Amino acid sequence: MSRDGVERFNDRVADYVRFRPGYPVGVAALITAELACPPPVDIVDVGAGTGKLTERLVQAGQRVYAVEPNPFMRAEAEKLLSTRSGVTFIDGTAEATGLPDECADGVTVAQAYHWFDADAARAEFRRILRPGGLVFLIWNDRRALPGSLLAEYDDLLRAHAPDYEALERRDGDNSRVAEFFAPHGFRETCFDNHQRLDWEGLRGRALSASYVPRDGPLHEAFFAGLRQAFEHHEVKGRIDFSYDTRVFHGRLD
């Protein structure tokens, strides 16, 4: 993982904690069912960030090693889970977790795979997984239906966020996922997920993304357009920010 990928969220952590979506309970249930291991199950949550998926896994009774290289995000995860047992926080990356060989039944990656060196991460996951272990790549994909606020949101990003196209994950045919899991293939499971946001929440959700300008003319133009879109679509002061939570899972060994 590049230094840029690690540091891009340094000034976004507060917005990330408050306004990024979590993950449906069904995601943790799926992981538990697919692993089908007698407890305790050991899961390495790579790119754990502020702990949004880690929390779900701990709630499901898993033993979790949360690997996160950004110290500010890791500190928020530690604060979130400070009263919970069964979680260990590690300063590491997808390419070098610092964990011993064959220590994990499963590896999870939530909203972080696009930051990795895929080949190096794949080799590291194979090293830390026990025989038969599974990898789960997870994304909250915005549901940008034609005519929706999220479609307008995407248009505004393309117009006013120069880094958006380069940094946003683009897997229209799942080609990168298929390459990662080759030659075994993978399964995909999808869950409904959404947020109900007022204007402050929508603004904070946008600012949590590393590619949204934080100041300057592009910032002003983006948020002027976003405010117009909000006012067009809001009902009783709130909008739906809807996602498909997609879980790609399979073996590497």
Peptide bond into 69 cis (omega under 30): no
**Residue 216 resides in a domain:** no
Mean pLDDT rounded to a whole number for the chain = 93
CB 158 within 8 A of CB 149: no
Q: Summarize pLDDT for 206-235 with one digit per residue, the tens.
A: 999 999 999 999 999 999 999 999 999 999
Per the structure, the complete domain to which residue 8 belongs is given by: 3-143+169-196+242-251
**Residue 28 resides in a domain:** yes
The total of structural domains in the chain comes to 1
Q: Summarize pLDDT for 139-191 with one digit per residue, the tens.
A: 999 999 999 999 999 999 999 999 888 766 555 458 889 999 999 999 999 99
Q: Is 3 helix (H, G, I), strand (E, B) or coil?
A: helix
**Residue 16 resides in a domain:** yes
User: What percentage of the chain carries pLDDT values higher than 90?
Assistant: 87
∠ at Cα 169 (27, 135), nearest 5°? 40
Let me know how many helices (H) and strands (E) the chain has, helices first.
Answer: 11, 7
Q: What is the DSSP string of 133-201?
A: EEEEEEEEEE---TTSHHHHHHHHHHHH-TTHHHHS---TT-HHHHHHHTTT--EEEEEEEEEEE-HHH
pLDDT value of position 6:
56
Q: Is residue 8 pLDDT above 70, yes or no? A: no
**Residue 215 resides in a domain:** no
pLDDT value of position 1:
56
Higher-confidence position of 73 and 114: 73
**Residue 151 resides in a domain:** no
**Residue 31 resides in a domain:** yes
pLDDT value of position 229:
98
**Residue 66 resides in a domain:** yes
CB 112 within 8 A of CB 169: no
**Residue 104 resides in a domain:** yes
Partners of 203 in the beta sheet?
Answer: none
Q: What is the DSSP string of 47-83?
A: T-TTSHHHHHHHHTT-EEEEE---HHHHHHHHHHTTT
At residue 195, φ and ψ (nearest 5 deg) are -125, 145
Residue type at position 175: S
- For residue 127, the domain's CATH number is 3.40.50.150
Mean of pLDDT values over 78-105: 97
pLDDT value of position 173:
57
Closest by CA to 27, choosing from 252, 210, 246, 173, is 246
pTM equals 0.93
